[in-house]
Amino acid sequence: MGETLLSAFVASGRRPGDLVVSEKVEERAADLRARYGVQTTDPATAVQRAAVVLVVVKPQDVAAIVQDVAPHVDPAATVLSLAAGVRIAAYEDALADGVAVVRAMPNTPAVVGEGMFGVSPGRACDEERLAAVVALLETGGRVAVVPEEQQDAVTAVSGSGPAYVFYLAEAMIDAGVDAGLDRETARTLTEQTLRGAAALLADSDDEPAELRRRVTSPNGTTHAAITTFDEHGVDEGLRAGVRAAARRSAELSGS
Ligand SMILES: NC(=O)C1=CN([C@@H]2O[C@H](COP(=O)(O)OP(=O)(O)OC[C@H]3O[C@@H](n4cnc5c(N)ncnc54)[C@H](OP(=O)(O)O)[C@@H]3O)[C@@H](O)[C@H]2O)C=CC1
Ligand SMILES: O=C(O)[C@@H]1CCC=N1
């Protein structure tokens, strides 16, 4: 996820010289320097002059890294957490008063500039610092500002969401091959269908159910497919899956 954001920032025209990365495996740090032109250093040094500090380690590693860098974070800085399930309060308790904290749930399409970020500001984050974070993340996609209590729902819908779409893609490609297509053609058809449907949904004021109705001729092929999905409980399974992701997100954040 850290590299996803880094590549989105660089692709959107942020100057690599303005970005400092902390990566503990030297071989990988060298690779990031070579590919993106960024500087790399240890976390305490990296945060010292940073206006925005992104934390993109695994949730269980957050406490240790925040403790290490806390004395070095500028009180005027914003700490932007991308870690699933880690509460704003965990940062605020460890950081000096005045440091703004923003919790964000990203998703992987940010690597192609089509990410979705749900962001929640902490108590020291004023409008100006929130706007700066929103502008930064918009280089990787769209941003929705939500209260922190909604982060589990955001995680379940858009954080994990790309995996649901890839799961659908896997099934469509495999079924296309079973129906006689070669795999490359099945992938092309699936890919463009997902892209086209997503673009149509984004462009339309109509509900998805209405867009689906327009594809569905009476007693035609789509009707046959949707009826079969319903018989197999696909809709119910998807809703249950999203609810399970939200529950797991709540468990991970200890709520
Ligand atoms: N992947 C996704 O789609 C999403 C991820 N996220 C969040 O993003 C965060 C990162 O996830 P992801 O990229 O998948 O995880 P990864 O484990 O791939 O990336 C985290 C990286 O941080 C490194 N790291 C850990 N501690 C330090 C340290 N002290 N200094 C420098 N580097 C360190 C890890 O190294 P090592 O492995 O050697 O410890 C690892 O390379 C998580 O908190 C996750 O919840 C949120 C939404 C979506
Ligand atoms: O699966 C996970 O836990 C992380 C959070 C959202 C997407 N990936």
Q: Is the pLDDT of residue 5 over 80?
A: yes
The stretch 51-72 carries a mean pLDDT of 95
Return the pLDDT at 175: 98
Q: Is 1 or 253 the better-scoring residue by pLDDT?
A: 1
pLDDT tens-digit map of 215-229: 999 999 999 999 999
Tell me the CA–centroid distance for residue 220 and ligand 2, in Å: 38
Closest CA to 92 of 115, 56, 120: 120
Q: Domain 161-252 in CATH: superfamily?
A: ProC C-terminal domain-like (1.10.3730.10)
Q: What residue spans in the chain does CATH classification 1.10.3730.10 cover?
A: 161-252
- Going by alpha carbons, the residue nearest to atom 8 of ligand 2 is 160
Q: What residue spans in the chain does CATH classification 3.40.50.720 cover?
A: 2-148
**Which residue type occupies 196?**
G
Q: Find out whether the beta carbon of 156 lies less than 6 Å from any atom of ligand 1.
A: no
Tokens of 174: 């495999």
Quick one: which atom of ligand 2 is closest to the CA of 85? 5
pLDDT over 90, % of the chain? 91
Burial 116-137 (b: 16+ CB within 10 A, else e): bbbbbbbebbeeebbebbbebb
- Going by alpha carbons, the residue nearest to atom 1 of ligand 2 is 160
Q: Find out whether the beta carbon of 253 lies less than 6 Å from any atom of ligand 1.
A: no
Tokens of 93: 């308790």
Quick one: which atom of ligand 2 is closest to the CA of 252? 3
**Separation between Cα atoms, residue 1 and residue 37, nearest integer Å:** 18
Return the pLDDT at 255: 66
CATH 3.40.50.720 assigned to 2-148: yes
pLDDT tens-digit map of 140-199: 999 999 999 999 999 999 999 999 999 999 999 999 999 999 999 999 999 999 999 999
